[in-house]
Each structure stands twice: as structure tokens, then as C-alpha cells.
Structure 1
Amino acid sequence: MSLDRALAPDPYDLLPLVPSFTVTSTDVTDGQPLDELHAHTSVGGKNLSPQLSWSGFPEETHGFAITCFDPDAPTGSGFWHWVLVNLPVAVTGLDRGADPLPDGAFCIRNDYGERTYGGAAPPPGDRPHRYVFAVHAIDVDALEVPPEATPAYVGFNLAFHTLARATIRPTFELKG
């Protein structure tokens, strides 16, 4: 049973353009399916965030935020899987599972209602969903957002503090 609807726009196509830099992963590849390690436990996955490394960001970078968003979720507003803020500028990578987090960094509640990475879990039989992992190089040491902030509020703040952004877009689907 495939949900018949138009492909959602890429969220970063709708925001002001910023320079890009490089993000790589030993776990995920742009345009390729996520391993079940990175799927949510509700669909039999391990719910582990992928390993990420980044380089080539602007010299004036003071810190980073990482987000993962599914624009293809059948919600009308997509689905936030991960919102990690206030990574120090000296941190240029995260291991699989990203635990423990560096001092000062924390996760905003995702759309599962959890303050952690929440893996892929599209409706069974739906087309492949895109999972947009973005590393945002920011112009401040820390975003002034409380732990109770929403992903949209963090996104609003990122719009004013992002110097550059690196993205990687794997996919995931559950066969019906």
C-alpha cells in the first residue's frame, strides 16, 4: 500500500542559501538506504545515530548543531528525528551512537518525544523516505535555546546563526 503523494521539497531548498562544507560517514551514504542499525526500535532497528565527520567549515565557526529531518513523513510538516545543539567547534565528528555527548551539547526533544536520536520508521509500504542529516556551522559558541525548545524553534534560531551547512541524505523504506 503506497501512499500516493508528491515528493516533499528538500527543507534546505526553502531557506536562504549558505555555503557548504563536507560531511562524511562510515555508516551512511548519500542516496543509499540506511542500515537497520539506524532505524527506530519500533520497526526492529537499533536506533543508533550514524557516525559522522565534517571538515572544510568556515574559519569563523564557533560551534555546530546536527539535525536529521524526514521531509517525506505523511504529516504535512515532516518528522524531526534528531536535533543536537551546542557542539563545541573542536568537535568535528561523532561516533555511531553519539554517547556520551561532549560537554555542553544536548538534544532537543524529537518528534518521537525523546531527547536523543530517533531512527527511521516510515509507514510500511510507503516509498523510500529521505533522511536529511545536516551539520550546521554556527557563528556562536552555543544557541540560546532551552532543552524544552521545539525543533522548529531551533530551526528558526539556526536560520540566523548558520554560516555554512553540510548534508548527507540516505533513504529508508519498510516493504509492505
Structure 2
Amino acid sequence: MALTLISKAFAEDQPIPAKYARTGENLFPPLAWSEAPDKTRSFALVVEDPDAPHGTFRHCGIANIPAEWTALGESADTAPEHAPRFYRNDFGQARYDGPQPPPGDPPHRYIFRLAALDVPTLSIPDAAGIGVMWAEAKKHTLEEATVTGTYQTR
């Protein structure tokens, strides 16, 4: 079987509830995965909006998710010490920042990409952004799974 990724907060290609938006409570939506490859030693996650006006916009990047984990709960940025590491998003913050498409835009897609990695950690400088983290993660990716939600600012 292949790596799968789901969210209890929204179904594939369905709207993401407002509480997970940057203009709402800005909570990280719960995610769960299964069927990771046997050689998985950690996971990395990126949240991207490919419909942003100036190209793909990255809302969240997390690396060093332990291989034994099968989920990230709501508000994952409150995880305990020695937990996964957040990287600077395109808002300039090392955290999750939810959907915030421009008013009047049609619904944007938000793609949550989970990569199963063959290394236990990624060694990336603190100042690095999501792009640097994801490029390094791609070098070690065994398999990737996605779940996509939509959001429109009303």
C-alpha cells in the first residue's frame, strides 16, 4: 500500500473550516497518515497555496517529525520540546499560518504534502525557509502523500 494522508477537519478538495484560516483562529488542522514505507526514519511536511497571485506561497514547513508518529494534532505548533521543527514560512514566521487568499479571488487550493524520509533529521540552519527545508527533504524522500483543501476569503 502507499503512504496516505488525511485530515479530520476537511475532506479531499473540500473547504477548510475558517478556524484554520489565518483570519480565523489560525489553528493547524489535524492530520493523520498511514502505510509509511518500512525504511521511514522521519517525516517532513509542507503546506502550499499554488493559486497565490505571485506563484506558490508556502504557509507551513515542518521537519524532523519522528518516524513512529502517525498524526499531527490541531495546533501542532504547541508540540513538546524535541518535537518537530517549524521553518520560516512565506509570511516570515516559523509556524503554521493558515489560508488567507485575497478577497474576491476564487477558492485557492491548499496542498498539505507529507514526505516519508530515509534520514532521522534534516540539518538545516535556523534561518532557513521552507524552500530550503523542502529541497533537502526531497533528496531523502521515500514516498509522498497529499491532502488538498480549499479556502476562499469572503
Specify the TM-score bucket, using the shorter chain as the normaliser. over 0.9
Runs of at least 4 residues off by over 6 Å: none
Read off the aligned partner of 1:32 and give its amino acid letter.
Q
Q: CA offsets, 1:59-87, max 9 Å, x none? A: 000000111000100013x1110001101
Q: Please, which runs of 5 or more residues in structure 1 have no aligned partner? A: 1-18
TM-score, structure 2 length as denominator? 0.94
The answer to whether the aligner puts 1:38 opposite 2:16 as a matched pair is no
> Distance between the aligned counterparts of 1:106 and 1:153, measured in 2?
13
RMSD after superposition: 1.4
User: Aligned residues: percent identity?
Assistant: 39
TM-score normalised to the size of structure 1?
0.83
Alpha-carbon offset, residue 104 of structure 1: 4.2
Q: Which residue of 2 aligns with 1:84?
A: 62
Give, in whole Å, the separation in 2 of the partners of 1:71 and 1:97: 23
Identify which range, 141-150 or 62-71, moves more after superposition.
Answer: 141-150
Matched positions, count: 153
The AA in structure 2 aligned to 1:111 is: D
| Structure with the higher fraction of residues in strand conformation | 2
Match of 1:72 among 51, 73, 84: 51
Letter of the 2:29 partner, please give it.
Answer: P
Aligned residue in 2 for 1:165? 144
Q: Give the unaligned 5+ runs of structure 2.
A: none
Q: Which amino acid aligns with 1:120?
A: P
1:142 corresponding residue in structure 2: 121
CA distance in 1, matches of 2:69, 2:34: 10
